[in-house]
Amino acid sequence: MTSERKFSEMDSLESFDIISEEEVKEFRAALEEGNLCAAGETINQSLKDIENAPLNIAVTGESGSGKSTFVNAIRNMDNDEEEGAAKTGVTETTKEPKAYPHPQYNNVTFWDLPGIGTPNFNPSDYLKAVEFHRYDFFIIMSSERFRHNDMELAKEIKSMGKKFYFVRSKVDSDMYASQMRRKKSYNEAKIMNEIRDDCIKCLHDGGIQDPKVFLLSSLDLNKYDFNQMQETLEQELPSQKRHVFMLCLPNISFPILDKKREAIKKQIWKWSSVSAAVAAVPLPGLSVACDVGILVTEMKKYRDAFGLDQGSLEKLADRFGKDVNELKSVIKSPIVVKEINKELVTTLLTRGAAGSLMFIEYLASNIPVIGTAAAGGISFGTTYLMLYCFLKDIAEDAVRVLEKALESSV
């Protein structure tokens, strides 16, 4: 097989969209030298860069608009008594930006910024004081009526070359009030459109073209515009940051579960290449040890990303008023309830050996670059198969668990 053919097929691997051009070049160069180990090292580094990409999200708006409550909800914390939760309530004010790292993904930080409510509010001074340049983007929270300050701030954020998303918060209260007022003609979609159109119009009138507005309730984050917001942010984030953003979202909607599955799937071939590269090092025993290590860490990451660990399951049960054992009853993958460790993975590896050999043949014909790498072939195939099957099982479990959680109790 010529290297031209191999590399042109490599181009078609969709996963390359989260590795930069430069890294792809490096990887090619490494392979051209016939050095699979160096190639593995390159991929390994790019995987680490993607997983550790810092993401700083600023949450701003008037005092009382729901900033702190949102910062907790998005980090899957339902009340402010939890360790690491932001204090909320009408009398709680923040004088300085306060960092709230995501409990699972520490490189993702939500910043609870001081309220913007003072009468002689100066957006430019405010943004300088909160060190605007350190944030990837801003979320402006606004409850009830649209306020002039929100627009001034939005304009200033834009002029400083940053992105903002406008969140109209506490929509649950608007719905409740409308329901009380118009018992017969209540129409949720219509009210949502009215509120959204009003916010867009006000921002538009202030000279902001095409503003992104989302209606949310931090008390019911899985409702209203949360999925649209998640989609938009994902699309607009630089590709290096997209992966970690997807993984850190709470597992409260089916589109999020789908996206997580896709995001993780894109990484599988890379981890498999890393393990293949290690297998090419002629040291007896090293390959197996490394494979198992990669598998254990990756499988744990998948389980936690889908919230199938004990702690997350308890929270989910709590959030939807269910019993945690009821949620657990729909989990089929045996590995989820056991501790994921080297012994368990080794057992699975030996058990699945015959199947993975067949799978390697299939892979070899589909992913030529790595599939045909002589020594690496077996290790690549086994790692790929294990991770692929595990991801599939665990993602399906997560869907079943969420279905159960959302089931209305009769």
What is the pattern of x (binds Mg ion, CB under 5 A) and - over residues 68-97? x-----------------------------
Q: Does 172 help bind ligand GDP (rule: CB under 6 A)? A: yes
Phi, psi (rounded to 5 degrees) for 137: -160, 170
Strands (E), 40-121: 55-61, 98-101, 108-112
The number of beta carbons lying within 10 Å of the beta carbon of residue 76 is: 22
173 interface partner picked from ligand GDP, Mg ion, none, CB below 5 to 8 A per type? ligand GDP
Distance CA 188, CA 263 (A): 33
Strands 137-142 and 108-112: unpaired
Separation of alpha carbons 400 and 181, rounded Å: 38
Q: Are strands 98-101 and 108-112 parallel, antiparallel or unpaired?
A: antiparallel
- H or E segment at 50? helix 36-51
Of 169 and 379, which CB lies nearer to ligand GDP in the complex structure? 169
Nearer to ligand GDP, 26 or 174 (CB): 174
Nearer to Mg ion, 221 or 295 (CB): 221
List the one residue from 217, 267, 273, 287 that touches ligand GDP (CB under 6 A): 217
| Coil vs helix vs strand at 359 | helix
Residue closer to ligand GDP, measured from CB, 196 or 301: 196
Of 76, 169, 272, 356, the residue at the interface with ligand GDP (CB under 6 A) is: 169
Out of ligand GDP, Mg ion, none, which partner does residue 218 contact, by CB within 5 to 8 A per kind? ligand GDP
Restricted to residues 269-298, the positions that interact with Mg ion (CB under 5 A) are none
Judge whether 301 and 362 are in contact, CB under 8 Å. Answer: no
In 3D space, the residue among 223, 78, 58 whose CA is nearest the CA of residue 141 turns out to be 58
Nearest by Cα to 372 from 66, 10, 27, 105? 10
Stretch that binds ligand GDP, among 148-156, 164-172, 198-206, 258-266 (CB under 6 A): 164-172
In the block, tokens 């670059």 appear at 369
Of 44, 46, 142, 218, the one binding ligand GDP (CB under 6 A) is 218
List, in sequence order, the alpha helices (H) in 280-338. Answer: 286-305, 310-319, 324-328, 334-337
CB 168, min distance to ligand GDP, A: 10
The single residue listed with the structure tokens 């329901």 is 179
Nearer to Mg ion, 110 or 359 (CB): 110
- Beta bridge partners of residue 215, listed in sequence order: 168
The pattern of x and - marking residues 84 through 123 that bind ligand GDP according to CB under 6 A reads: ----xxx-x----------------------x--------
Task: Residue 147: name its binding partner from Mg ion, ligand GDP, none (Cβ under 5 to 8 Å by kind).
Answer: none
Q: Where are the beta strands (DSSP E) in 180-339?
A: 213-215
Sign of CA dihedral 301, 306, 310, 311: positive
Residues 27-66 that bind ligand GDP (CB under 6 A): 63-66
| Count of residues interacting with Mg ion (CB under 5 A) | 1
CA dist 47 and 391 (Å) reads 17
Q: How far is the CB of 237 from ligand GDP (least distance, A)?
A: 24
Angle at Cα 362 formed by Cα 360 and Cα 364, nearest 5°? Answer: 65
CA distance 218 to 226: 10
> Of ligand GDP, Mg ion, none, which one does residue 65 interact with (CB within 5 to 8 Å by kind)?
ligand GDP
Least gap, CB of 92 to ligand GDP (angstroms): 5
Selection from ligand GDP, Mg ion, none that 170 binds (CB < 5 to 8 A by kind) is ligand GDP
- Rule CB under 6 A: is residue 170 a binding residue for ligand GDP? yes
Please give the residues from 53 up to 72 whose contact with Mg ion meets the rule CB under 5 A: 68
Stretch in the footprint of ligand GDP (CB under 6 A) among 198-206, 213-221, 315-323, 392-400: 213-221
Contact residues toward Mg ion (CB under 5 A) are 68
Contact residues toward ligand GDP (CB under 6 A) are 63-69, 88-90, 92, 115, 169-170, 172-173, 217-219
